[in-house]
Amino acid sequence: MRIITGEYKGRHFDIPRTFKARPTTDFAKENIFNVLNGYIDFDGATALDLFAGTGSISLELLSRGCEQVVSVESDRDHYNFIRQCIAKIGTDRSILIRGDVFRFLKSCHQRFDLVFADPPYALEKLKDIPDLVLDGDLLTPDGILVLEHGKKEDFSSHPRFVEHRSYGSVNFSLFR
């Protein structure tokens, strides 16, 4: 796993082979961040990374200048890996939470410029995530939600859907 651009550009982190999480491919990550550049100025932004997995998105957000990145991950091994990666880059702009994303969403009172959700594609509650984030008032007025999902899901009829991007088997739906 590598950081594509920004302050920590080119940094590599070796993901343990025992991991269940799959990092967003570099190709898909680079392309979705190019799209997001049209929606958000990362410099000084606040971001929330749900289902943080390997921490790839959180690290990319920190590298691109986000003032604060909150990462939520329930798996103990994944949480510890992300904690180690953040320690290696030596930043204090990261808040790492080990816990259930759905419980976190119910109790969170902070607003973010960007919410990035990369749940397991087979997650039963995947379709609920846009409404939980959008109805939970977690976005700033110009904020954006990015939901990574498999090709079977279609969110285009959601009232706050903005656009869909597909990069190979990786799909992103954007909401405002």
The position carrying tokens 């397991």 is: 120
Both tokens assigned to 110: 């902070």
User: What are the residues whose beta carbons fall under 8 Å from the beta carbon of 100, sequence distance 6 or more?
Assistant: 74
CA 100 – CA 38 distance, rounded (Å): 31
pLDDT confidence of 24, banded at 50, 70, 90? confident
Per-residue pLDDT tens over the stretch 101-147: 999 999 999 999 999 999 999 999 999 999 999 999 999 999 999 99
* Phi/psi at 163 (5° precision): -165, 165
Predicted TM-score (pTM) of the model is 0.96
Own/partner pairs for 120-127, CB < 8 Å, 24+ apart? 120/51, 121/149, 121/150, 126/153, 127/153
Per-residue pLDDT tens over the stretch 146-169: 999 999 999 999 999 999 999 988
